[in-house]
């Protein structure tokens, strides 16, 4: 038995001496989450929940979609396609939101359709059903965590520009991995209207960096101290340059000052863009 297994066994025996409890063995199923543990790693999915969700909305036999949302599709509040049942739509979006706990591939599309729960249209309902059609062909998808020795936190960030047709706001997205699998992801409409794609990417990068700092502190509590800077990858050169070079301040004065703290973290060596 390895040292880590010995520590776990000692902890369990100590807990059982202190409290009245029963050892049920390895975790396999919890609140819709399926956990498959093996010697090589852990696979987390929601296959049964996804299948039940499809059955609830009678989508089991529909044609699978290759993507959760049509390419370049934009939704707006008043699209003239008629009203859909709010109760039915909210139930569908609630189920998709819970499914996204192990499905980062649907996070963006679910966040987009979630914006219209107060007054959904038939077009919004069609977009939500497209996500279900995608799930039909990907019921068994999940997250695989393989056994690794180096738990290095790494992040990716991206943003569209002015995709919201009702307010002109952009959507930020980021994902962080630790070792082999993703542990944190987000897709959210930005709070401000940005004046350029570079500014939208900069705001998205700032949100990702905030998450990176929180994850670093959380990992420290778990005795997984991150040595060196956490790398955050971005596909916009202007954003990387703004984060690295304070001399660009005259060109970026219109950006809210709260988004510039990313520069201090780069200088300190906490974050590397």
Q: How far are the Cα atoms of 50, 104, 134, 251 from residue 60, in angstroms, in the given order?
A: 10, 21, 11, 53
Model confidence over 144-192: pLDDT tens digits? 999 888 889 999 999 988 888 888 889 999 999 998 889 999 999 998 8
Report the percent of the chain where pLDDT is more than 90: 51
* Between residues 253 and 136, the one the model is more confident about: 136
- CATH 3.30.420.10, applies to 149-272: yes
Per-residue pLDDT tens over the stretch 217-263: 999 998 888 999 999 999 989 888 888 776 656 566 656 666 677 88
Interval 192-222: pLDDT, tens: 888 888 889 989 999 999 999 999 999 999 8
Domain boundaries, the chain: 44-136, 149-272
* Residue 146, CA distances (Å) to 141, 143, 149, 178, 212 in order: 16, 10, 10, 11, 22
Report the pLDDT value the prediction gives residue 1, as an integer from 0 to 100: 46
pTM for the whole thing?
A: 0.82
Residue matched to tokens 């010697």: 39
Q: Is the pLDDT score of 129 beyond 60?
A: yes
- Per-position DSSP letters for the chain, written without gaps between them: --HHHHHHHHHHHHHHHHS------S--EETTEEEEE-SSEEEEE-HHHHHHHHHHTT-TTSPPPSSSS-TT----S--SS-B--HHHHHHHHHHHHHHTTS-GGGHHHHHHHGGGTTS-BHHHHHHHHHHHHHHHTTTT-EEEEE--S---EEEEEEE-SS--TTT---EEEEEEEETTEEEEEEEEE-SS--SSHHHHHHHHHHHHHHHHHHHHHHHHHTT----SPEEEEES-HHHHHHHH-GGGGGGSTTS-GGGGHHHHHHHHTSEE-
Sign, CA torsion 71/77/82/83: positive
Query: Look-up: residue for tokens 């992801």?
Result: 185
Each residue of 49-64: pLDDT tens digit? Answer: 999 999 999 999 999 9
Q: What pLDDT is stored for residue 4 in this prediction?
A: 61
Residue reference for tokens 């301040």: 249
Q: Is 221 left (phi over 0), alpha (psi -120 to 50) or beta?
A: alpha
In whole angstroms, what is the distance from residue 166 CA to residue 73 CA? 14
Rounded-to-integer distance, Cα 12 and Cα 6, Å: 10
Distance of alpha carbon 48 from alpha carbon 56, whole angstroms: 12
CA 165/CA 75 separation, integer angstroms: 7
Give the whole-angstrom CA distance, residue 112 versus residue 68.
Answer: 11
pLDDT winner (highest mean) among 62-76, 83-97, 138-152:
83-97
Please provide the average confidence, as pLDDT, over all residues in the chain: 88
- Among 109, 93, 92, 177, residue whose Cα is nearest residue 143: 177
Q: How far apart are CA 43 and CA 51, in angstroms?
A: 18
């Amino acid at each position: 038995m390895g040292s880590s297994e010995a520590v776990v066994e000692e902890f369990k025996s100590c807990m059982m001496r202190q409290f009245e409890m029963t050892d049920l063995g390895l975790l396999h199923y919890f609140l819709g989450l399926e956990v498959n543990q093996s010697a090589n790693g852990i696979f987390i999915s929601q296959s049964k929940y996804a299948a039940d969700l499809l059955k609830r909305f009678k989508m089991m036999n529909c044609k699978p979609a290759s993507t959760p949302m049509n390419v370049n599709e934009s939704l707006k509040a008043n699209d003239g396609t008629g009203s859909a049942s709010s109760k039915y739509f909210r139930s569908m979006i609630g189920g998709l939101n819970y499914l996204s706990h192990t499905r980062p591939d649907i996070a963006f599309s679910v966040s987009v359709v979630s914006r219209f729960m107060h007054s959904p249209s038939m077009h919004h309902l069609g977009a939500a059903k497209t996500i279900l059609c995608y799930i039909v062909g990907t019921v068994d998808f999940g997250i695989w965590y393989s056994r690794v020795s180096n738990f290095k936190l790494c992040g990716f960030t991206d943003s569209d520009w002015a995709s919201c047709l009702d307010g002109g706001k952009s959507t930020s997205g980021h994902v962080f991995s630790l070792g082999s699998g993703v542990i944190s992801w987000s897709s959210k409409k930005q709070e401000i209207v940005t004046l350029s794609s570079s500014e939208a990417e900069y705001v998205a990068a700032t949100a990702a960096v905030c998450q990176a700092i929180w994850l670093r502190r959380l990992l420290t509590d778990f005795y997984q101290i991150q040595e060196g800077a956490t790398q955050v990858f971005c596909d916009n050169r202007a954003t990387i340059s703004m984060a690295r070079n304070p001399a660009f301040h005259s060109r970026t004065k219109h950006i809210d000052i709260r988004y510039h703290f990313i520069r201090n973290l780069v200088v300190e060596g906490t974050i590397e863009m």
